[in-house]
Amino acid sequence: MEHVPNDSVEPTEAVEGTHLSMLAGGEQMNVQHFFIEPGSTVPEHSHPHEQAGFIYEGTLTFLVDGEEISVSAGDSYSIPGDEVHGAENRGDVPVKGIDIFSPPRENPAWQDDD
């Protein structure tokens, strides 16, 4: 069993105002914590990984295929592999949540992700 306390991981700032912490993982998936400051934008990108997530604070607006989808605290979501998506924190509070990627994913630099 792997145990990774969130406070033992140094966050990576993938883009300005968006902080990621890689948590536990295995051969088939991994868990990532995210903290997105108010006004921060995750640029549109895609990746081959399936992504499922849960927001526990704030509201994140996803941009998927020209559609805006607001995901609030207590909501979950899933994004198929290779689907182009981006996200924005349009609120006044940070957005905090957890993503699970399958297969495992490294910390991205979204500007260079494909």
pLDDT tens over the chain, length 114 residues: 999 987 899 999 999 999 999 999 999 999 999 999 999 999 999 999 999 999 999 999 999 999 999 999 999 999 999 999 999 999 999 999 999 999 999 867 654 444
What does the pLDDT read at residue 106?
A: 82
Asked whether residue 108 is assigned to any structural domain, the reply reads no
pLDDT of residue 79: 97
d(CA 25, CA 68): 30
pTM check: above 0.95: no
Residue 1 lies in a domain: no
Q: What pLDDT, on a 0 to 100 scale, did the predictor assign at position 5?
A: 87
Range of the domain at 83: 6-102
- Mark residue 37 as left, alpha or beta (left: phi above 0; alpha: psi -120 to 50; beta: remaining): beta
- Domain presence at residue 35: yes
Does residue 47 fall inside a structural domain?
A: yes
- Give me the pLDDT at residue 7, please: 83
Looking at the domain assignment, is residue 114 inside a domain? Answer: no
Q: Report cis status (omega within 30 of 0) of the bond before 38.
A: no
- C-alpha 38/C-alpha 71 separation (Å) is 15
The confidence score (pLDDT) of residue 110 equals 55
Asked if residue 82 belongs to a domain, the reply is yes
- How many residues are recorded in the chain? 114
Whether 24 maps to a domain, the answer reads: yes
Question: For the chain, how many structural domains are there in total?
Answer: 1
d(CA 43, CA 6): 25
CATH number at residue 31: 2.60.120.10
Dist. CA 75–CA 46, nearest whole Å: 22
